[in-house]
Amino acid sequence: MRKNLKAYSQVNINSTLLTADPHQVILMMYDGLLESVAKVKGAIERKDLAVKSQMITKAVNILSALDNSLDAKAEPKISATFSDLYQYCINRLNDTNITLDISGLDEVVELLKPLRDAWQSIPESSKKEGLDLLKKKDEQSSVGA
């Protein structure tokens, strides 16, 4: 039964990703990141080192993907600030992986939860404006190619 639920969950996530706009994808990444960090904390408390390692790896991979999605050409200062934050969080997760000190996890959540909440509360008009800018940028780059 558990395998069936896991398979269904994966199919559901994949379906959602196929129809999601970039804002939804980023929100899903933040949600997955925060969920992984919570699972790391639980695994440390249960002394389940295998799950701890899997979930830290997942969280680090999501942070790396968020970092790689930054557009440094469009907004160099903002991108650099976010990149520094993501790298700091990766370092805290790696420290936690070694020390098993959950205070690093709490710090990561404290730093990233407001970003996730702010991302979720972006008004639809701003999302549309951002999507229109992305389309325009894509069109310009395909014309120049």
The CATH classification number of 23-123 equals 1.20.120.340
What DSSP designation does 134 have?
A: H
CB 65 within 8 A of CB 28: no
pTM of the model: 0.80
Residue boundaries of the structural domains of the chain? 23-123
Please determine, for residue 125, whether its predicted confidence score (pLDDT) is greater than 90: no
For residues 105-113, give the mean pLDDT: 98
Q: Which helix (H) or strand (E) holds 142?
A: helix 124-144
* pLDDT tens-digit readout, 17-54: 455 788 899 999 999 999 999 999 999 999 999 999 99
72 DSSP 8-state letter? T
